[in-house]
Amino acid sequence: MRYLNLVLVAVLLSVSSCSKSKQTSIAPIVTPIVVNPVNTTLKDMPFKFGASVNARLLENNPAYKALVIKEFSSLTTENALKFATVHPLEGHYDFTDATNIVNLALANGKRIHGHTLNWYKSLPAWVTNFQGTTADWENLLKTHIQTVVGQFKGKIASWDVVNEAFEDDGTYRNSIWVQKLGTDYIARAFEYAHQADPNALLFYNDYGQEYSTAKRTAILNLVNNLKSRGIPIHGIGLQMHTRYNQSDANITSAITTAAATGLMVHISELDIALNPDNNQALTYTATLAEQHAAKYKSIVKAYYAIPKAQQYGITTWNVTDADSWIPTEYSRPDWPLPFDASYQRKAAYQAILDGVK
């Protein structure tokens, strides 16, 4: 529309300037001046804007790959660096998927964020069945972290070192890591990662920081404790798997309290559910699209208000509604991302751009 308007204006100007010139019998030649349409992408945001990417889709789906290359300035490995993928058997690592993502990112000038060195999920059977002393478990943790970080030293800019260590009530999740090593394994995980790549930026990553103040407080206490002990931690990841009716106040509090630690803040797994109540019959309407867009815009605005040096970036979890994990995970129709299932930009896309205007 805007493009058409510009062409029209150009044509009218050209006609009117001809009519002012000396009258001749020759009809004015109308030369449309072609003005390039503004082709802004998410790469043009004033902070990094990324997506978590799927190794299989990058391999098999050229349209997906082209969209990823076109739109994003940062890529997070969706599953390629999870324990079960990268270290499926004791002593055996498989870096194939991660290497493909890293090479694609580097070839296209994109930052890479590694997800995740430690989690209670996605553990291979050899870990859940592992028998050993405390020292053996410590060695397992350390060797895994240092082998994976070391493999991509100087290429992967940043890591989610520990993912989802807390329950929503703010207590430590009773993960296998806590059971075997106690809660301070978290500090050592950061130290091990730092030793393997001293230039990598290290994040604690979790969800629910917008809706649970207990969880938020527990995370802030952890992070401040690590900082005060000189443990190398550089940022907080707010996953932000949220919903269209989450309050702006809650979201802003999560962002500003994280920023108050002085660390970098990464909105690391953003998606906005439109069907949080699992209505199987729900359909996507213009009203929902507008509400979706409004929430994307308010999140971007709140994020853009924290100090520039702390804006590590915003990353959506997956790229389009066709590859979002939400419909599969919750067995429901949903439309959480800024691109639709046909890879077209939704209202939310423009809202993200508008959030920094």
Binding interface with ligand XIL (CB under 6 A): 78-79, 163, 239, 269, 325
Closest CB to ligand XIL among residues 206, 355: 206
- DSSP assignments along 186-241, one per residue: HHHHHHHHHHH-TTSEEEEEES-TTT-HHHHHHHHHHHHHHHHTT----EEEE--E
- Annotated catalytic residue 78: no
Which is it for the CA torsion 198, 257, 205, 49, positive or negative? Answer: negative
Minimum Å distance from CB 328 to ligand XIL? Answer: 7
Both tokens of residue 340? 């639709």
Minimum Å distance from CB 242 to ligand XIL? Answer: 12
Contact assessment for residue 352 and residue 293, using Cβ atoms and an 8 Å cutoff: no
Q: Distance of CA 236 to CAs 179, 209, 312, 317, Å?
A: 24, 11, 9, 16
Using CA atoms, how far apart are residues 314 and 96, in angstroms rounded to an integer? 26
The catalytic residue among 71, 78, 164, 210 is: 164
Nearest residue to ligand XIL, using CB? 325
- Annotated catalytic residue 164: yes
Closest CB to ligand XIL among residues 73, 318: 318
- Closest listed residue to residue 145, CA positions, set 184, 99, 114: 114
Using CA atoms, how far apart are residues 166 and 268, in angstroms rounded to an integer? 17
Which is it for the CA torsion 355, 43, 325, 124, positive or negative? Answer: negative
Minimum Å distance from CB 282 to ligand XIL? Answer: 21
The catalytic residue among 71, 78, 191, 269 is: 269
Minimum Å distance from CB 108 to ligand XIL? Answer: 22
Which residues are tagged catalytic? 164, 269
